[in-house]
Amino acid sequence: MRTSNIPKERAKKLEFYKSIGLKLTPQRLAILEYLENNTEHPSAEDIYSALKERFPSMSFATIYNTLEVLIKKGLVKELGLDSSKKRFDPFTHPHHHFVCKGCGKILDVESRFEIFIPEDLSDCMVEDFQVVFSGLCPECKEKE
């Protein structure tokens, strides 16, 4: 029963992508598929490398164009946690992150935190917040 649902779910998903105005090219589908459930917060380069094998002709322009569209559609969020490149997150619900000082890896944190909007920001329009933890991930902790 599980297996028989897969094509149906897939079709539904494609339908959804179409419904929001995405022209479905194989490259786009590959990017979407790569991002789906991806918790690595990949960079454009990461996506490119990952798909290079399947699409040897893939161009960076395609990656960047597609990401731009996905961001505009609200399906992907751009992360500002890496001071050398943009990284992208397909999980757009509010959540938090841990940044490893050793390897730069970014982990998701799904806990809820009670945060009040501080007085310092009373003149700002605060739209969002996230808690950013930092330290060493399990692997880098070992190496120390």
Residues that bind DNA (CB under 7 A): 18, 22-28, 43-45, 55-62, 64-66, 69, 83-86
DSSP class of residue 139 equals: H
**SS3 of 77, please?**
strand
**In the complex, least distance from residue 50 CB atom to a copy of itself, rounded to whole angstroms:** 20
Minimum CB separation of residue 47 from a copy of itself in Å reads: 16
Q: For residue 70, how far is the Cα from the chain centroid?
A: 10
Q: Which of 27, 47, 87, 89 binds a copy of itself (CB under 8 A)?
A: 87
Residue 103 three-state SS: coil
Angle at the Cα of 136 (from 135 to 140), degrees rounded to 5?
Answer: 160
Q: Report the nearest approach of DNA to the CB of residue 17 (Å).
A: 8
Tokens 């946690």, residue located: 81
The contact set with a copy of itself (CB under 8 A) reads: 78-87, 96, 98-101, 107-111, 113-121, 123-138, 141
